[in-house]
């Protein structure tokens, strides 16, 4: 699930950022814009690893914006069908359990897929024992749907 990807993006640079601090501005912008972003190609960008590489700035003919191509390595999380995913128990209810993965993604684990699952007001249980809040559970992904 976790992997390292080389990601390339085009960023528009405002006039005030052109100058000696351009690379610092771009690195900060990439960190703010890209971290926790989700795409079908890379999944969730968890962390940017190392430096952000900049191309030569180019002025767009269409609207006179200054654009720069950036490339960076990132640790990503790309959920795929039939692969295991480990997360923290976020919420339990009669219909199943919600897991929170990397503080980014909420995953529904239906009760029908948890052997011996039962939910009462005291503590949800399964064949393996109680399902405690904030405990780590691994589930098999049965389907992926992207909102982003």
How confident is the prediction along the chain (148 residues), in pLDDT tens digits per residue? 688 989 998 888 888 888 888 888 888 888 888 777 788 888 888 888 888 888 877 777 667 788 889 999 999 988 888 889 899 999 999 999 999 998 888 888 999 989 999 998 778 989 988 998 899 999 888 877 766 5
pLDDT of residue 147: 62
Task: Provide the pLDDT for residue 118.
Answer: 92
DSSP strand E in the chain: where? 2-13, 38-39, 43-54, 58-59, 66-77, 84-93, 96-101, 105-110, 125-126, 129-130, 136-140
What per-residue confidence (pLDDT) applies to 148?
54
User: CA–CA separation, 23 vs 41, rounded Å?
Assistant: 26
| pLDDT value of residue 73 | 92
Specify whether the CB–CB gap between 38 and 77 falls below 8 A. no
pLDDT at 135: 93
pLDDT at res. 66 = 86
Encoded tokens for 8: 């390339």
* Cα distance between residue 17 and residue 1, in whole Å: 36
Residue 97: how many other CB atoms lie within 10 Å: 24
What's residue 146's pLDDT?
65
- Picking from 74, 7, 43, 59, the residue whose alpha carbon sits closest to that of residue 147 is 43
């Amino acid at each position: 699930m976790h992997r390292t990807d080389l990601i390339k993006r085009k960023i528009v640079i405002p006039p005030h950022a052109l100058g000696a601090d351009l690379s610092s501005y771009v690195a900060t912008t990439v960190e703010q814009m890209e971290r926790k972003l989700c795409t079908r190609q890379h999944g969730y960008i968890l962390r940017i690893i190392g430096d952000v590489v900049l191309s030569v700035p180019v002025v767009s003919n269409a609207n006179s914006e200054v654009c720069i191509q950036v490339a960076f390595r990132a640790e990503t999380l790309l959920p795929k069908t039939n692969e295991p995913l480990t997360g923290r128990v976020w919420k339990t209810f009669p219909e199943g359990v919600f897991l929170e993965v990397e503080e980014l993604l909420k995953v529904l684990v239906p009760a029908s897929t948890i052997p011996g699952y039962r939910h009462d007001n005291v503590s949800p249980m399964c064949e393996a024992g109680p399902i405690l809040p904030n405990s780590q559970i691994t589930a098999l992904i049965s389907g992926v749907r992207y909102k982003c």
